[in-house]
Amino acid sequence: MTITPVDVVNLLINGSIDGLLIALPTLALTLVMGIARFPNAATGDYMTVSAYAGIGVQALGGASILLAGLGAVAAGAAISIVFYLWVFRALRGRAPVASLVASIGVAFFARSMLTLFVGHDQHTFSVPLVRAWNFGGIRVLPTDLYVAAVALLVMLLLFAMLHMTPIGRQMRALADNPDLARACGIRSGRVLLALWATVGALCALGGMMFGIKAVVSPELGWELLIPAFAAMIVGGIGSPIGAVAGAVLLGIASELSVPFVGPSYKIAVAFALLLLVLLLRPRGLFGKPIVAR
């Protein structure tokens, strides 16, 4: 089959947009990795639960997407903080495996509570229907641009917080050198609460954006877990810039692979890139060099 330049541009556009959206849960993953030092397998399900919360708000409170978004963020932050206080805080002294296994448990528990009380149905956000723009074959959906723009805005806000606010600086200090940070008087308890609230908000917005772009289903988040993890590794663990770069790279690569392996193998492409990076350059694009095992 022949691939025209127009096809490539379309794939690049779609891939970049997907990448920007995936960047949100990837950021959530990399923040937790950098500070709490374990892969949080519940990231996906935080997204799903928040997205459903957004749907719920929209169903109750009228058609305002903004309100739905706020509802989602509130739900995401809440669920993230609750599970931190109940589960992850108690596991802080233990090996990362323990937190990882527990996070799988949290993921299952959150998802099951959702499906039990809300059901398995798919939902869509009611967004104004706008036709796709077409520039000589290059298709752009305004909705897609909208969600990508929101994602970018969220990322900018996050970077602003990390670099320009005291709490953000404390988070980075805690990620860099926890002992030194504590010795400098940084109270990790407060910082960690802020961290998990941020993580929840990021997941919520990610879930919302994906939900707006496509549909909200119980598997929404879980299916994004592996691609987000891959993006985190490719970009470099603990590096927010890396998370975004890795996500966009992965989004584009996955999209470009579609003409060759079909849409269902996108996760396999992400996985293959993950393996490649782990084997050839374990620290990813922007990560710190990992000391030899």
Q: Determine, following the binding rule CB under 8 A, whether residue 262 of this chain makes contact with other proteins.
A: yes
Q: Which of 148, 216, 230, 253 binds other proteins (CB under 8 A)?
A: 230
Say which residues have a Cβ less than 8 Å from residue 14's Cβ, sequence separation at least 6.
Answer: 144, 255
Q: Determine, following the binding rule CB under 8 A, whether residue 234 of this chain makes contact with other proteins.
A: no
Looking at beta carbons only, is 115 or 122 nearer to other proteins? Answer: 115
- Going by the DSSP 8-state scheme, the letter that residue 239 receives in this structure is -
Q: Determine, following the binding rule CB under 8 A, whether residue 184 of this chain makes contact with other proteins.
A: no
- In 3-state terms, what secondary structure has residue 288? coil
Q: Which of 24, 36, 73, 106 binds other proteins (CB under 8 A)?
A: 106
- Beta bridge pairs of residue 123: 216
Residue 62: CB atoms within 10 A of its CB come to 10
- 96-118 and 43-60 helices, crossing angle to 10°: 30
Q: Determine, following the binding rule CB under 8 A, whether residue 109 of this chain makes contact with other proteins.
A: yes
User: How many residues of this chain bind other proteins (CB under 8 A)?
Assistant: 45
What x/- string results for residues 5 through 44 when contact with other proteins is judged by CB under 8 A? Answer: ---------------------------------xx-x---
Tell me the C-alpha distance between 142 and 132, whole Å: 6
Looking at beta carbons only, is 146 or 271 nearer to other proteins? Answer: 271
Tell me the C-alpha distance between 192 and 181, whole Å: 13
Tell me the C-alpha distance between 27 and 25, whole Å: 5
> Which residues bind to other proteins, rule: CB under 8 A?
38-39, 41, 87, 90-91, 94-102, 104-113, 115-116, 120, 226, 229-230, 233, 262, 264-265, 267-268, 271, 274-275, 278-279, 282, 292-293
